[in-house]
Structure formats: structure tokens, C-alpha cells
Structure 1
């Protein structure tokens, strides 16, 4: 059994702050936990407005607090996000995420992340040649 506490994880190397200043993410489950997915609590800062395109991952996102919207770029549809809303990027959807109020999100990634990943220029997390993310940096 794995038991972790969010407050403790926030004080560890499991908390990642994006270099662009849009978000921070505490990664409670990672690839090393052998669950087949990773689980994160992510904060999107108020006023954030950025594009992502998870070409290598599927993601489910559940809003716990805050407000914003996700816009799918294939059809330019805007979907409001508020507590209780889930959106699922089941087709590697290219999208824009906007936070009108700071949002706390529960995120699940498949395949799982290693832990240090941040978005590349395309708004994706990289995979190494073994199909495992390896976008970490020495800290």
C-alpha cells in the first residue's frame, strides 16, 4: 500500500513549479510507484492562459476549486471549468487552458510521469526512446 500526504509532498521534490509561472504541480503518484498512471494535484494560477498539446500522454483533469475554461483548438470550442467539472484529453487534444480564478485540479496521466517534467515548446511532456518520460533536470 502507498500512503502519501499532500502537505508533506508539497515540501519535497515532488512539487514542481513551471518555469513559465503558470502552474505548480505536486506529483503524488509517479512511474516509480508502478500503478500504470501518475496522479497530481495541480494549481493553475489566476490569469494563466497557455497552450498545451499532450502528444505522448492521455490526461484526465478534475476541478476541485477555482474557475476557468479549456478551449479545444481543433474546433475552437470553449468549455467552462468550475468545481465538479472533469475534462478528458482522450484524443491528445491540442488545447488552451485559462484560469479566471486560481484553480486546484486533480490530474491523472497515462503513461505515468517520472516526476520532474515540464512542458516542452509544443506544450507536451517528452518520452525517451524506451517510452518512458525523461525530461528531468538535476536539482
Structure 2
């Protein structure tokens, strides 16, 4: 059994600042669960280009308001508290935060805990 408290992650190497966001890595590859879990804050007023070519992601918004724009069709998806979206087709998208947004993010394959987006909005396959 593993129990992780957010307070134990804050200020460590697993409290990753990506500029437009801060991601606290709670469950990582080393935990051997087959997925990873992040508690991420998307900063108000930001727009982030993301394209997870190597990962699938489900995102559950627990605070805040914003939108996702899927770039393949320019569809705008409003995201508010208690909304989940799943990037089940490696969807290239823009994430726009109207307010600070707190998101619980689940990745497969799991993140090692150090990743940040590259110039194309991609996380590498493995940062170990």
C-alpha cells in the first residue's frame, strides 16, 4: 500500500513548474502501477499547446474554468469543475485557463516525474 500526501510532494523534484502550469507528481513510473497521477494547477490567463504523441491522458477538473480546443477540428470544449476529458486519440490541443484550474491527470504510460513539454507540446516517452 502506498499513501501520498500532496504536502509531501510540494517543494521536491516532483513539484514541477512548467511555466503555464505546476504539476505535482503523486504516482510515477517507479511506483509500478502502470499509470501515473498528477495534481496540476493550470495558471489563469494562460494558453498551453499540448500534443501527447507518446501518452494517453485523462484529466478531471476539480477547480476552475477554462477550455480545450482540439486542433484537428477547432472544436472548443468548455471545462469546468467536475468535468473529465480524455485525450484518447493523442489529440493535439490548446488548453486555455480562464481562472486557475486544478486538474487531476492520469497518464499511460506513466510519467517518471521529471517531464516537461518540449517545443511541440510533447512529453518524451521516458525520462528515467
The bucket for the TM-score relative to the shorter chain is over 0.9
Cα separation, 1, equivalents of 2:115 and 2:13: 12
Aligned to 1:2: 2
Higher relative contact order (CA 8 A, sep 6+): 2
Question: What does residue 65 of structure 2 align with?
Answer: 67
TM, length-normalised to structure 1? 0.90
Task: State the partner residue of 1:16.
Answer: 16
Structure 1 stretches of 4+ with a deviation exceeding 3 A read none
- SS of the counterpart of 1:101? coil
Q: What do you get for the CA RMSD once the two structures are aligned?
A: 0.9
State how many pairs are aligned. Answer: 128
Uncovered stretches (5+) of structure 1, i.e. residues with no partner: 128-132
| Counterpart residue number, 1:77 | 75
Give the one of 26, 29, 53 matched to 1:28.
26
Cα distance in 2 between the residues matched to 1:70 and 1:32 = 30
Q: List gaps (5 residues or longer) in structure 2.
A: none
